[in-house]
Structures are given as structure tokens and as C-alpha cells.
Structure 1
Amino acid sequence: MTIRTALSRGLIAISLAALPALALAAPKTDLVLGGEGADVGQLDPDFASTSSDRIVVAWIFNALVRFKPGSTDPAQIEPDLAESWESSDDKLVWTFHLRPGVKWQKGYGEVTAADVVFSIQKAMKKDTSAYSGDYVAFKSVEMVDDLTVKITLDHQIPSVLGVLANYSGGFILPKKAIEEKGANFTRDPVGSGPFQIDKITAGQGVKLVANEDYFRGKPKLSSVTLRFLPESSARDLAFTAGEIDAAAGVQDKNWLQRVKAEGHAVVDVFAPAEEAQLHLNVTKPPLNDIRVRQALSYAIDQSQIATFQGADFTQAAKSAVPSNNLGFTADNGMLGYDPEKAKALLAEAGYPTGFTLPMVNSQVSGLANLAQVVQAQLGEIGVEVEIKPVEHATYHQMIRQDASPLVIYSAARFPIADVYLTQFFYGPSQIGGSAQVTNFSHCESADTEIKAAKSETDEPKRIAMWQAAQRKIMENVCSIPLIETRLLWVRKDTLDWGYDLKGSMSLGPMVTEATHFAE
């Protein structure tokens, strides 16, 4: 045997010996995501409102029922902590039966009916929940036994399951943990979901680890880290460099084209369609003049904005509520694009050369781009908008302090008109009020219709009231609908969410026990 032959055989033997090790190499189990927020603020679900907060909360907590992963369709709501439920014939009494043996994270025992009663009662109170307005019809919540809860309504509401789902105030919290942790619960939450908080590094990221006792099974991932990367360029660089596995995308057609051209990248475009509106504070001059508000509306070309943003994921908004909402109507009297009418109205109102208005706006790229287009369109009629860019969390704080007469706000809510109308256009939801939500315009013009619809049991009549409310809001120009935009995330093609991502009420991908990397 020659030396060359011996060496060749030896190398082949070494290679073959290495094959089993290579074949058995474990797939990656640490998922790293790039989020557009600068930090998390409120991980108490009853106060979570920013995209970062909502995304993380959805990984930690469960609800009685849940939207099917990858869907925002109310018709696909399915069991979560409750394995079954039934209602009385008049739909006023609902009984939920909990899964036995579901465990809270971090050793807080099992989920019981007492936790459910505590959580819903917390969601019902305005001092312990930002979403208390969703539960005004809840008359009582009672514990029948350790695994049974009875909810009695004062009147029928459009979707009981909707307000009990894994969204906004519907999450179930551990009574004991909240009582023990107090204010610290917002940064050290305890849930029953597939992942639990490990640590939060302010301004850098939040790390979660797998909940090995999760009732649907041990997660395939060992950890999930959400890095805070508010600049889209930083997310793009981190993704290209392989530092992150998925990232929040940019609602911009150029970004989409560029990312699609990259190899080994998949872009998920998903619901709900967030509707962006320009809210006008009707109590502050010169916006307290209806002619000025009408002029601003005539100056906005929604179709141009939608084209600028990207037709693959954007369309012109057509009402005070998104077009996928039950109760939406395009027959609402919304003013069209007519800059000459806008200029004439400004002159009639005493502003022939226009005026200047400040606007606090987020530095997040999607909102920043939108503000610039609105600024340019209003500039065509002589209205100068002074954009005051601030960090995203600061933006949320300032607009809730009436610090800006103009507010661009993009939001998706449970797809029934009552929710959007109540939060953005109902008098009691005004910023500065005791029950404030997101009524930045201080609109009250449709209060009669919005309130009446809440107690109307006949669905066609209720829908007619929601449609009448939209007509009054548009007539009063409380806001100017801009665009509806679907959400975008980019991910490595080796990352499998474990479902088909077509929708997410948390505004980001659900990371579930099934999420994994391909081997």
C-alpha cells in the first residue's frame, strides 16, 4: 500500500466518522428579533399599548380564548385557558370551563377561576386598566368552582369572545403574583404562556426563556430575545449581518423591493390593516373652526399617500374606522381631494396665506414617512406643519398629554366598529378626561349613536348606528383618514413560525411552542 493510498483511506475514515456528528447537530434554538421600539414600558397587559409591549405580552400570557395563531378573524377564535363554554339563550350569561392543571410561570401554582375573576374585574376598572371601556356591559364575574367562571352581562354586546380573547384587556393574570409584586409586575410579569421573562436591559432588549411547563407542550425554542432597534437601518444591518433572525419591516415600497431581492429572506405581510388617521383637536384654534378642518381634509390626497407608501401593503382609508370592521361604511360624506376648495375655505376663515401648526410625531420610520407626506400636502395650501420628532415611547406620552393639536396615529383594533369608535371618537374617551383612551380630537359629535349602539340588541340596527356615527364624525372632520397599511416583518427562510402568518392582533409575530428553525 502506498503512503498516498493510506492517507486517502485515513481521511475517508475520518470523514465518515464525522458524519454522524454532523447529521445529529441540533438546530438553532435561540431566536433573536429586531423590534422598532426603544424599550418596553408596560408588560401589564391591561396597560400595554405600544407595539413592543403588545408583542411581548402575547408571548407571556394566555386568555380564556384566543385568535388562532396567524389569524385576526373573529370567526376563528378558539379555546385557550378555557376548554369549553356556553351561553344562555339571551346571550347574557356566559359560563367558561377552564383546562385543569395549567401552571403559572415561576412557581406561582395553577391557574384557577379565582385568577380569571380577578383578571376580568381588573380589566373592568379604569384605575387598573386602560381598556375598561370594553367591559362596561359586564355586570358580574363569579367563581362557580375552581375551574368554572360565570359572566353576566347587563346587555348584549357585539362580541363577548372578542373582549375575552388574547388581546388588550382579555389576558388572564395571576392574582398572587400581582399582589406580591405590585408595581414591579410591569417589568417582571408572570403569565402562563410559552415564554417567560428572563431579563430586561433598558434600551437594549428583553430576553425570554422557554416555559417548560407550558400546557401545550415544551417550546421548541429555548429563548427569544427582542432587541430594541428603533432605526430601520440598524435592523436592516443586523439582519443582513446575521445578528437577528427576523425584524419589523418598514411600510415603504423601496424597503420591500430591496429586501425581496436579498437571498434567504422571507417577507410576511399580514393583518390587521392599521388605519392611520390625522386627528384634529377640535378645541384648539384654528382647528376649532370647521372651515379650517374641512380645508385640511380637502388638501389630503389619500391615493397619493397609498401609492407613495406601497400598493403591495397599503390602500387609501375611507372612513373613521378601518374597512375590515363590522359596521364600516364608505357612504359617510368624507371630503375628497380638492386643494382649490381648501384654499378658498382657509381664506374664508381668515387665513388667506395659511398658518403654522406644530405636530409631535414618532421617529419610527413608518410614522415619520407618513408625517412628511402629510406635511408636504398641507404645505400646498399654505399650512406649514412643524414636525417635532421624538422617540416612540415619548411620542405616546406626549400625545396623551394633549401636547400636539395634530396627531398622526396608526392603529388596529378588534375588527368591530364599536371598539374603534369608542376609543377614538367617544366623548368619555377624550384625552385629559377621567376615562381617557385615544380620543385625541376631543370629538363628541357622534356620542349619541355610539352610546345607543352599545345597548342595541338588534344587529342591523346596531350597524346602522355605527354607520350614522361615522357620518357625523366625517361631517365634523374630527379626523382625516389617511391610509390602511398591513404589517411587514422579514425573517430568515430557515425560521418557521409554526403557522402561516396572515394576521396577528399583537401587531407582531406570535412566537409559540411550535416556532422553530429548520434542521
Structure 2
Amino acid sequence: MKKTLLKPMSAVLALLSVIPNINLASVLAEGDAPTFSTDVKHEGEAIEGGILKQALVSDTTFPGVFNNMYYSSNPDTAVINLFAESLFGYDENFTIDNSGFADVEFNKDDKTVKITIPEGVKWHDGEDVTIDDVIYPYYVVGNKDYTGIRYGEDFMNVEGMEEYHNGDAEEISGLERVDDYTLVVHYKTFSNSMLQAGGGVSAYIEPEHIFKDIPIAEQEDSDAVRSNLVGFGPFKVDKITPGEAVTFVRNDDYYRGAPALDGVTVEIVNPSTIIQEMKAGNYDIASLPADQYETFKDAKNFDVLGQVSNAYTYIGFNLGTWDEEKGEVVYDDTKLTANKALRQAMAYAMDNDAVGAEFYHGLRMNANSHIPSFFKDYNNADQEGYHYDPEKAKQLLADAGFVDKNGDGFIEDPDGNEFTLHFASMSGGETAEPLAQYYIQAWQQVGIKVELTDGKLMEMNSFYERVEANDEGIDVYQGAWGTGGDPNPTGLWGRNSPFNYTRFASEENDKLLAAINSDEAFDKDFRVKAFNDWQAYFIDEVPAIPTLFRQELTAVNKRVSQYDIKTGSDLEWSEIKLLSDKPQAE
């Protein structure tokens, strides 16, 4: 659909015109940023059943990889979460507890995790869920033919996993099958992160009886992942319109109790039209773009819920490659982007305080760290981070030998060579183009010549394919991370993490991450200091510039009886009902 760029482009031009003189963070005085509740209840008499209509706000289609072992794109998770289940529950701090499908016992001294699942639960096709369905994903992700991106340090830490992965063993010795409903996993090391959701213990559970007959190399493109989807979650997949929509029906045998709804539909809706769609009463639930807050803050037919997200945007640098065979990044210190002064100067050239105020109405805030402020105990609030200081940026460049020798307004590299950095950024939403142009012009104002890769924004799937491949046509890129339930940065910025798209590595980074993962870090004070030490190092090296923390906003139509977006919420699908036959319109 056509995107309207007039309003945000005028905003970015205004922003650029005043940057040399003021910091636009003053646009929003302290305390002016809006605040939100995480839950809502609507009064009324519930109808019987009904179909909840959920809008998945995205400028791209579903990639269509509907499996936890294989997906790599957020749109697919909205589908997965409705029909599949994770093993573990967790509280509002993402600490694993026994509120989920499985009970879990951690034994730090023995370096084991005991997983017990309930008896009598059925997959959607009627087969029993057993502990073999918990064991099987280890054999998929750890297999040499596995085509996904989940094999990393967490799986390597299971005893016997590397021997299996290398073909030296047919079984994974660290998987102790106790009975049909109990598994004990033995680990080489046991870190405090393992207590967190997504922090080192596999939460995957997949129907072995379906996947075992599909060669692992072929699973990602199989019907079991793309179309004939089987889980044991609250809803069953009824129909898939490739790339566009998925229709679900109620699972009457759901182990937590059948949902009150007859079903759910999930449809892709473009960010440029979602506000009109919600106001017209075409959907019940949708995430809302913060850059359009002024257009929906006074909506009459839906409520807006919000919470600080465990996510952040960042500007990343292409600093190397990924060695698939060794499973580690290869840092290339010959790249121009490997010059730390250049990276720091680009960080000081950007006014993210102004961006948060001007573009996002105070709903996004300048990020001071690579640890989101969601994690209050581990984000170092006293760390200053980077703020707009173009003169400091210019001085850093000059001190490092970046000088404009030919008088064209752009600096040459320390060897006197002209250069252009190619910047990749994704399309999507009204601010995507003007924000990318703002960053480019901000860098150019301190003398760094930057152009969009291929001269245009990239579609999301293409963007991540090229960034992950360390495409030579990309020197700098704008990305975003959702950190999951574990603030530990190893999974994003460690040497052995395939998600470390910058491909930065150093012995000091290894050392600081090792401290976070050490036995000593079970002590809270030691752990906090280890996090602070790493944050200080990484913000100085800045292989990626953290730009914005964010509020996540969710619209809930007033025909939905109740809804809760709080992390660790215990609201069940059996409690969510509809108060009329169709969503309310404004």
C-alpha cells in the first residue's frame, strides 16, 4: 500500500534544521510522556463464542515458517503463539517458574535441569504428548543437517551435544530420559542465566511422531512447518492464506481449559492503515505504531495498553563474517568500520533524544545501553551513553586522522582515501524513510558521507538475509532486538552467537561475558557488577549504537471483555470473551 510521507518528512526536515542549535528533547518536558495500563476490563454481557480478530501490523507478509525451531521473523511468532506452546512459564521478570506446561527443577551443584510434563495432554491430531517430544528438538537443532539458526552456545552446553553435532555420537549423552514424562538435562556449565526464560534451557517441544519421518535437512520447508501445523495450544490452525492470514478454531481439549472464543483470525495489516482499520472496527487487537500516537490517543472504540519493552533499536556496523564450520564470528579489523573513533563519532552525531520526542511523542527514549531499561536490575541507569554532540564527533574524527582534504565537505579516511558508507534500513511505517534520511544527514553534517544501500529502504526479509550474510554492500544498518526473557547479552553479542550480526569479537568481550556467565554471578551483587562492567566496555567499543528504548502499545477493542499484556500475565483464554458480534467502530 502507498505510504504517506509528507507529514513525517516535514518533521525530519524541521528536526534537521534545528539540530545545530538545540536539543529537541526539550519538546517533551519531564513527566509529559504518556503512561499506560497493562490490562483492561470492559463491562457487558458476553456472547457465546465468536471470532476474535487480531491484526498483525507489518509492512511485510508472513514468511510462513511456523515452528519455534526454525522461525527467524517476528510476524511468524504471532501465529506460532496461538497453536504451539513453550515448555516453561515465567514471572514478570522472566524468571522461569512452574506456571507453564512443565514443572522445572534447577540443580546448580549437579548442573542439571529436571523437566516434568503432565500426563494426558494430546496433540491436536489426538496423539499423546510425551517427554520424547521434549527430547526430539535437541536432536534436530543439534544435527549437522539442521537449517535453522538456533544451534549455539546454549545447545553446545548440553553434555554430549558437540559429539552428536560433529557426528562422533548417535545419542546426546546429557539427555537422561527418566520416564515418559520426565527428562533430566545435564550441562557442562550452569550459569545464572539458565533461570531465565530463553536463558540457556531449551523450551522447545515438538510432535516427534510427525517430524521423525521428515529428513532434518528438509524440515524447514516441509508441510509440517509451513501448512499442516500441529501443536497442543489453545487453538488449532484451520486455514492459511499464504503470507496474509491464518484462521484458528478452538481446541476443546486444551489442557488449561477450552477458550471461550470459537476461534481467532490473524491478518497482516500495513502500519500505514492500522489506525483507520481499528477506528473502523475491523479488528479487536493490534499493536500500534508509536509514531502515529497523536492520531489514536483519543480513540473512542478501543483502549490503548502499554508497557516498556524488552527491546531496543540500534545502528550496527558490518565488522566481519560468520564461520559456519567453527560456529563463531570472524572479526575483520581491516574494515573501515573497525575504526572505533568513526563508530563513536557516528553515535555522537545522532540526536536520539530528539528523535524520541519528535517522531515518537516521547514513547521512545534515548537508549543508554545494550541492556534494555525493562531489566531494571541490570540496565545501568547511571551510564550516560551517547547524546547529541556534533563538535565532539568532529573532534574524534580529526584526532583519528579523518580529515576533509579535498574540500568537498566530506572526510577522507586516515590514508587519505575518499569513502562512502552504505546504510541499510528496513521499510515499514510512516517514519521509516524520514528517520533513515535523518540519520544519513546527521552523519553527513559531521563530514561522513553515507548513502542508502541500493538507494532505497529494504523489505524486512531481504534486509535480514543480507545483514546476516554480512553483505559487502552494507557497512552500517539499522536493526532492532527483542532480548527475550534473559538480559544476558551473550546470545546477541557473544563470539559464538549467530545473532551477533556485527561480527564483533575481542578477548576482553569474551572475558566480560564469561564473568556474567560464571558461578560467581549467582551472587546478585557480583552479577550486577559484571553486567555494569560489560555495558561500560561495549558502549565504549560500540560495535552497535543503541538508539531507542520503547513503549509497546496495544489496542484492545471495547467488545473484548478483558485483556492483559503484562509480562507473566496469568489471564487465560477461557476468560477472554466477546461482548458483541463484531468489533465496535468509532
Which TM class, normalised by the smaller chain length? 0.7 to 0.9
Alignment correspondent of 2:575: 514
Is the 8 Å Cα contact of residues 64 and 242 (structure 2) preserved in structure 1?
no
From 474, 481, 496, the counterpart of 1:428: 496
Alignment correspondent of 2:537: 472
Alignment correspondent of 1:304: 354
Alignment correspondent of 2:32: none
Quote the RMSD (CA, aligned, Å). 3.1
Please report how far the alpha carbon of residue 25 of structure 1 lies from its aligned counterpart in structure 2 after TM superposition: 6.2
Indicate how the Cα distance of structure 1 residues 168 and 161 shifts in structure 2: closer, same or farther if over 3 A, else same. Answer: closer
CA distance in structure 2 between the aligned counterparts of 1:169 and 1:88, rounded to whole angstroms: 16
CA distance in structure 2 between the aligned counterparts of 1:452 and 1:148, rounded to whole angstroms: 32
Is the 8 Å Cα contact of residues 33 and 227 (structure 1) preserved in structure 2?
yes
Alignment correspondent of 1:385: 450
Is the 8 Å Cα contact of residues 114 and 146 (structure 1) preserved in structure 2?
yes
CA distance in structure 2 between the aligned counterparts of 1:24 and 1:205, rounded to whole angstroms: 26
- Please give the secondary structure, in 2, of the residue aligned with 1:375: helix
CA distance in structure 1 between the aligned counterparts of 2:432 and 2:568, rounded to whole angstroms: 20
Indicate how the Cα distance of structure 1 residues 439 and 157 shifts in structure 2: closer, same or farther if over 3 A, else same. Answer: same
Is the 8 Å Cα contact of residues 95 and 196 (structure 2) preserved in structure 1?
no
Please report how far the alpha carbon of residue 385 of structure 1 lies from its aligned counterpart in structure 2 after TM superposition: 3.4
Letter in 1 for 2:128: E
State yes or no: 1:198 paired with 2:198.
Answer: no
CA distance in structure 2 between the aligned counterparts of 1:179 and 1:415, rounded to whole angstroms: 30
From 475, 480, 493, the counterpart of 1:410: 480
Alignment correspondent of 1:364: 428
The answer to which structure, 1 or 2, has the higher relative contact order (CA under 8 A, 6+ apart) is: 2
Alignment correspondent of 2:300: 263
State yes or no: 1:439 paired with 2:501.
Answer: yes
CA distance in structure 1 between the aligned counterparts of 2:140 and 2:147, rounded to whole angstroms: 6
Letter in 1 for 2:180: D
Please report how far the alpha carbon of residue 482 of structure 1 lies from its aligned counterpart in structure 2 after TM superposition: 0.6
Alignment correspondent of 2:154: 134
| Superposition pairs of residues 82-161 of structure 1, within 5 angstroms | 82=102, 84-88=103-107, 90=109, 92-107=111-126, 109-123=127-141, 127=146, 129-132=148-151, 133-139=153-159, 140-161=174-195
CA distance in structure 2 between the aligned counterparts of 1:198 and 1:374, rounded to whole angstroms: 44
User: What is the percent sequence identity of the aligned residues?
Assistant: 22
CA distance in structure 1 between the aligned counterparts of 2:567 and 2:449, rounded to whole angstroms: 37
Please report how far the alpha carbon of residue 278 of structure 1 lies from its aligned counterpart in structure 2 after TM superposition: 0.8
Alignment correspondent of 1:176: 209
Is the 8 Å Cα contact of residues 50 and 263 (structure 2) preserved in structure 1?
no
Please report how far the alpha carbon of residue 105 of structure 1 lies from its aligned counterpart in structure 2 after TM superposition: 1.3
Indicate how the Cα distance of structure 1 residues 147 and 272 shifts in structure 2: closer, same or farther if over 3 A, else same. Answer: same
Please report how far the alpha carbon of residue 464 of structure 1 lies from its aligned counterpart in structure 2 after TM superposition: 3.1
Alignment correspondent of 2:196: 162
Indicate how the Cα distance of structure 1 residues 515 and 271 shifts in structure 2: closer, same or farther if over 3 A, else same. Answer: farther
Letter in 2 for 1:219: P
- Please give the secondary structure, in 1, of the residue aligned with 2:573: coil
From 190, 209, 215, the counterpart of 2:249: 209
State yes or no: 1:279 paired with 2:297.
Answer: no
In the alignment, structure 2 segments of 5+ residues that lack a partner are 1-44, 160-173, 320-331, 411-418, 581-586
Is the 8 Å Cα contact of residues 265 and 491 (structure 1) preserved in structure 2?
yes
Please report how far the alpha carbon of residue 157 of structure 1 lies from its aligned counterpart in structure 2 after TM superposition: 1.6
From 516, 527, 536, the counterpart of 1:453: 516
Q: TM-score, normalized by length of structure 1?
A: 0.82
State yes or no: 1:44 paired with 2:67.
Answer: yes
In the alignment, structure 1 segments of 5+ residues that lack a partner are 1-22, 430-435
CA distance in structure 2 between the aligned counterparts of 1:209 and 1:73, rounded to whole angstroms: 32
- Please give the secondary structure, in 1, of the residue aligned with 2:479: strand
Deviations 1:118-174 (A, max 9, x none): 134545568365233333433322210111111222222224343469x99523111
Please report how far the alpha carbon of residue 511 of structure 1 lies from its aligned counterpart in structure 2 after TM superposition: 8.6
Q: TM-score, normalized by length of structure 2?
A: 0.73
Is the 8 Å Cα contact of residues 333 and 474 (structure 1) preserved in structure 2?
no
CA distance in structure 1 between the aligned counterparts of 2:572 and 2:468, rounded to whole angstroms: 30
- Please give the secondary structure, in 2, of the residue aligned with 1:362: coil
CA distance in structure 2 between the aligned counterparts of 1:499 and 1:440, rounded to whole angstroms: 38
Is the 8 Å Cα contact of residues 276 and 482 (structure 1) preserved in structure 2?
yes
Is the 8 Å Cα contact of residues 101 and 118 (structure 2) preserved in structure 1?
yes
Is the 8 Å Cα contact of residues 251 and 258 (structure 2) preserved in structure 1?
yes
- Please give the secondary structure, in 2, of the residue aligned with 1:427: coil
CA distance in structure 1 between the aligned counterparts of 2:310 and 2:432, rounded to whole angstroms: 15
CA distance in structure 1 between the aligned counterparts of 2:49 and 2:136, rounded to whole angstroms: 41
Answer 1 or 2: which has greater helix percent.
1
Deviations 1:206-227 (A, max 9, x none): 2222222111122122222221
